[in-house]
Structure 1
Amino acid sequence: MSLSTGRLLRRLATVSMAALLAGCAVGPDYRTPSLSLPARWGAEAEATKPARPQLAEWWRNLNDPLLNALVSEAVAGNLDVATAKASIREARASRRQAAGGLFPTLDGVGSGDRAKTAATQTGTGKSALTSTFQAGFDASWELDLFGGTRREVEAATYGVDAAEEDLRSTLLTLIGDVAQNYVEARGYQARIALARRTAASQRETASLTEQKLEAGSASGVDVANAKGLAASTEAEIPTLETSFAQSVHRLGVLTGRAPSALGPRLAAARPIPAPKGMPAAGVPADVLRARPDVRLAERQLAQYTAKIGQAEAALYPSVSLTGSISTTSAKVGDLAKRSTIGWSYGPSVNVPLFEGGSLVAAVDVARAQRDQYFVAFRASVLTAFEDVENALVALRKERERTAKLGASASAYRDSARLSRELYRAGSSAFLDVLDAERSLYDAEDALLASRVLAATNYVALQKALGGGWGKPVEVSKPEVVDVATGPRLAARAR
């Protein structure tokens, strides 16, 4: 075998080995963890057949057009949503940046020199001026033999998925907060109106008691008690108005506006939103598909699993191919004509021999981080199940409580009416009227608070099931549009 033939075979073997190693990868391949899931919710009756939950635009079931409008405005203007959009743009750019490592790099270079040679060195007795111009290209390509760069791209891809799930999670929380604060605002309005009606009625009772005092059929104690009860009810109004204003202010911030911006739109009282029927909860497996926080945790687990391979690839040799070509001439115009052309190419190998254990430690760090995200994923699943179970029980029991409070308020309403009529006729003591009016106000106020709590429990259940904004969200538009970003004279810092 000739020398040239041996070299050729060695080169072919090298190329073949490189091609074989190009498909290699180190580190664990990600697999979605398998979990043992319950077949049904503990709060659901055994005889009930699970139905798939209807999560798309669930807030419309509250039948309030203004709430629907506020949700849309919050999705468009909320600052947390804007931050999540920017995170998606960052993740996508990071992925493109990581993918760039799979391709060669090419740089253009150029230089120009003008030199003067002293007369003593030219041998002619005269100094000489010479010019040298050079132009060319430098190229390099690090072969991804053990898949480190591919693992980096894989991790970045999972990072994009995680950022998108974070946006969905932000939207889910946002819509739930808007609905909850809106329901609470309407509840405070209803309780303020109740307190004012009750105080007015109690003032009428106090006036009647004063008339009886003048007629000698009532005591000054009765008059003082009647006025004190009316004043006590009126004292509830400022506290309720403060809570109403805080809910309005929160809604303003959630929609990306000034706190008081929605005051005029919410000034007119409306009924407390109340959904009809008990929403379907499906089965626990549905939550894993619907909850964005669970899907976010799973994507983060996948991302940090890929980072193990990225860290392990650093333990193996790396091979780079480099090359350059240049042309040199005495005149710029001769670079492409009468010039000297030079070139070079060849591989370079970098073998980690001793790194003080840092590379192995980096792998251990990556594995520990993966374990943390695995635990976080399992915790997110358990938290999701807990949220649904709690919301199911809370909604069902609060509706039962609302029904009982409604019956209680109705009974106290009859009691207050009869006690006033008997007192007016002189057949009942004033303490009976006082107790009846106090009990009636407490019962009606508790009924309104229970209606609000039932509606907010409905909101909590929809959030726990993963209901959110199902429409596409534009994320490519930046929040800040820069102008005049090209080369220019530097301006003074302001």
Structure 2
Amino acid sequence: MYNLRLKLNRMLVVLMMTVISACTTLGPNYIAPEVAKELDWLESQDKTLASDKPVDPLWWRSAFQDDTLDKLVSIALAENLTLRSAGLRVLQAQENLRIATGAQFPTQVLRGGIGRTGLAKGQASSGVDRNFYSDELGFGLQWEADVWGRFQRQIESASAQLDVSVASYDGVLLSLLAQVSQTYLNIRTLEERERYLRDNIVIQQQSLTIAEDRFEGGLVTELDQDQARSLLYNTQASLGDIQISLVQLRNTLSLLLGQSPGEVITVLSSSSQIPETPAQIALGMPQDLIRRRPDIRQAERRLAAQSALVGFAITDLYPTFTLGGSIGFESTDNSGNDLSDVFTSDTRSWDLGAGFNWNVFNYGRIKGNIRLQDALFQQLMIDYQNTVLNAQAEIESAIIAYLVSQQQLGWYIKSEQAARNAVDIANVQYDDGLVDFNTVVTNLLTLRTQQDLLASSRGQVAVNLVGVFKALGGGWEIHAGKTVDQLIPNETKDIMRKRTKYWDGVLE
């Protein structure tokens, strides 16, 4: 009997060593695919662009140097609800990785209990108490050997999904920076358009006064003053459209900042012009896109996660091997025994074993799943390549939009100056009776139009510059080096810690 037990123990040890030594990782090992990249920007010869300098992570500060914008961005980073939600998704992905990592280790079970048993007369021997108490205490251990890399592939996939969630957070952050900046710039643009309208109202009132004086002097008909009034009233009515748009943009900004509209108005209360754009902007090189753009990193990491799932699906073709054992103690208060005897050697029992499980007859389901996962991988590879191409096209479009809007602004500045001079000359000549009032009205309309175009163009240059930085993917680096829990606001962490104690050591 002893020799048989010794042989069984040796067989278990040999089986265990064989299983462990045979461990391998099935499936394709992921290699990041090569994609076509531009060597330089199409407009790289323009002196406004600097390809030899990296994009400034704090581009909104260096590009516009506007204290109000800096304050708005700081509030948005701290209070925006969409960004908070993205941070929590990163936390979820981190916990999924912990779960996947824990699956590769043995499971331990501690069991115990006490109970009372009543036996029928035919079940108990003569002189034995049919009613008795029993207790037990035991410990079990079971481990599935990762022979084919099944758990390893799950960890790889979960790790890549964590990277996906971080890149998604970066994308939300980048979008938030751009939205806050562009909304603020559009507000300042509308304010400047409003100032121009009010200036035009003053000029048109002066023209109306001249027309009324000339009518009272019998020099012109009533037509001139009616034309002047019509133009003036139309300009005054245009103020309403500007004011509606201003309220709407302020409400949009309040949503981005996670604050009430009244609080946003307080921040915007200081008078400010449309910020000037810098003489030169740093673009970096096209090769930096893959490292910098969050959507590209997200697509690449999603591809890596799917590659691991292909290997995970392949492992279903092969058997799983488990090793396990347990030791336990059990006693009763029957037949002269006592419950306290539970820890004596006479009450000890144990077992040790190994086994396998092989899904042999699956009717093609496993191979079908492998093909499915591989097809998904191929689709994601094409999506990744398409994302890179779209990114390059988006940047080139943003660059040309910025450069052309700068050129347009130069012409609008000259046009506005000419229109202003024309109004002054027309008013003098009309007052002297050299031209009719149609000439004055035409020039007043031209001035109003040109000044509105000038303000819109100046704002569009700044908005287009934000579009360039957004397309380049700059700005998310401001959270580089932060741990996952640092992406969660302190008040949110406090709420979560109060709800359950299991965040201790995770949310610091």
- TM category (shorter chain) comes to over 0.9
Distance of 1:219 and 1:346 partners within structure 2: 113
Distance between the aligned counterparts of 2:205 and 2:387, measured in 1? 55
Is the alpha carbon distance of 1:123 and 1:458 closer, same or farther for their aligned partners in structure 2, counting shifts above 3 Å? Answer: closer
1:359 to 366, 386, 390: 366
> Are the equivalent residues in 2 in contact too, given 1:188–1:240 (CA < 8 A)?
yes
Closer, same or farther in 2 for the Cα pair 1:429/1:374, shift >3 Å? same
What aligned pairs does 1:111-260 form with structure 2 within 5 A after superposition?
A: 111-117=113-119, 128-260=130-262
Report the CA distance between 1:93 and its aligned residue. Answer: 0.3
* Fraction of identical pairs, as percent: 27
* Structure 2: runs of 5 or more not aligned: 333-337, 502-508
Instruction: Using the TM superposition, name which of 109-118 and 463-472 deviates more.
Output: 109-118
User: 1:471 aligned to 2:478?
Assistant: yes
Q: Which residue of 2 aligns with 1:490?
A: none
Q: Which segments of 5 or more consecutive residues in structure 1 lack a partner in the other structure?
A: 487-494
Relative distance call for 1:264 and 1:77 in structure 2 (3 A) is same
1:305 to 304, 307, 322: 307
Contact 2:147–2:320 at 8 Å: present in 1 too? Answer: yes
Instruction: State how 1:422-441 maps to structure 2 within 5 Å.
Output: 422-441=429-448
Number of residue pairs matched?
484
- Residues 12/189 of structure 1: CA separation in 2 closer, same or farther (3 Å cut): same
Deviating more after overlay: 349-358 vs 39-48 = 39-48
After superposition, residues 256-295 of structure 1 pair within 5 angstroms as 256-295=258-297
Residue identity matched to 1:249: N
Matched letter for residue 404 of structure 1: W
Q: For residues 4 and 326 of structure 1, what CA distance do their matches in structure 2 show?
A: 19
Report SS of the residue matched to 1:335.
helix
Look up the match of 2:56.
Answer: 55
Give 2:20's aligned residue. Answer: 19
Aligned to 1:399: 406
1:42 Cα offset (Å): 1.6
- Partners of 2:478 and 2:50 in 1: how far apart? 29
On the 8 A contact 2:50/2:280 being kept in 1, the answer is no
- What amino acid is aligned across from residue 42 of structure 1 in structure 2? L
**Higher mean Cα deviation, 35-44 or 256-265?**
256-265
For the Cα contact (< 8 Å) 1:328–1:339, is it kept in 2? Answer: no
Deviations 1:236-263 (A, max 9, x none): 1111111111111111111112344302
Deviations 1:146-195 (A, max 9, x none): 00110000110111111111111111010000000000000001111111
CA RMSD of aligned residues (A): 2.4
- Going from structure 1 to structure 2, the CA distance change for 1:9 and 1:129 (only over 3 Å counts) comes to closer
Distance 1:105 1:44, change over 3 A: same
When normalised by structure 2's length, the TM-score is 0.90
Alignment check: 8 A CA contact 1:305 1:370 kept: yes
Please give the alpha-carbon distance, in whole angstroms, between the structure 2 residues aligned to 1:140 and 1:350.
Answer: 14
Mapped contact 2:27–2:311 kept (Cα < 8 A): yes
Q: What per-residue deviation string (whole Å, max 9, x for no partner) do you get for residues 124-158 of structure 1?
A: 68964311101101211000100011000011011
The one-character-per-residue Cα deviations of 1:64-95 (angstroms, maximum 9, x if unpaired) are 01101111111111111111111111101000
Alpha-carbon distance, 1:269 to partner: 3.0
| 8 Å CA contact retained: 2:50, 2:282 | no
CA distance in 2, matches of 1:102, 1:441: 73
**CA offsets per residue over residues 300-321 of structure 1, 9 Å max, x none?**
1111111111111111110011
TM-fit CA distance, 1:355: 1.0
Residue 481 in structure 1 maps to residue 488 in structure 2: no
Instruction: Classify 1:326/1:122 alpha carbon distance in 2 versus 1 (closer, same or farther; 3 Å).
Output: closer
Aligned to 1:341: 348
Q: 2-side partners of 1:292 and 1:125: how far apart?
A: 80
Alpha-carbon shift at residue 20 of structure 1 (Å): 2.5
- In structure 2, do the counterparts of structure 1 residues 231 and 270 end up closer, same or farther at CA, with 3 Å as the change threshold? same
- After TM superposition, give the deviation of residue 432 of structure 1 in Å: 1.3
Please identify, of 426-435 and 46-55, the stretch whose mean Cα deviation from structure 2 is larger. 46-55
Deviation at 1:116, TM superposition (A): 3.1
Give the match's secondary structure for 1:353: coil
Offset at 1:46? 8.7
Deviations 1:208-240 (A, max 9, x none): 211111101121111111001011111111111
Alignment partner, residue 94 of structure 1: 96
**2: CA distance between counterparts of 1:364 and 1:209?**
84
Q: Which amino acid aligns with 2:284?
A: G
Q: Which string of whole-angstrom CA distances, capped at 9 and with x for unpartnered residues, describes residues 84-133 of structure 1?
A: 11111110100010011110000111121212346686676896431110
Q: 1:386 Cα deviation (Å)? A: 0.9
After superposition, the Cα gap between the structure-2 partners of 1:37 and 1:128, relative to the gap in structure 1 and judged at 3 Å, is closer
Q: Is the alpha carbon distance of 1:265 and 1:475 closer, same or farther for their aligned partners in structure 2, counting shifts above 3 Å?
A: closer
**1:317-352 CA-partner distances (Å, limit 9, x unpaired):** 100112111101125533224750111111111112
Paired residues of 1:27 and 1:310 also in contact (CA < 8 A): yes
Q: Secondary structure at the match of 1:471?
A: helix
Name the CA distance, whole Å, in 2 between partners of 1:466 and 1:222.
56
**How far apart, in 1, do the equivalents of 2:118 and 2:285 lie?**
86
Distance in 1 of aligned mates of 2:128 and 2:101: 58
Question: In 1, Cα distance between the equivalents of 2:345 and 2:281?
Answer: 83
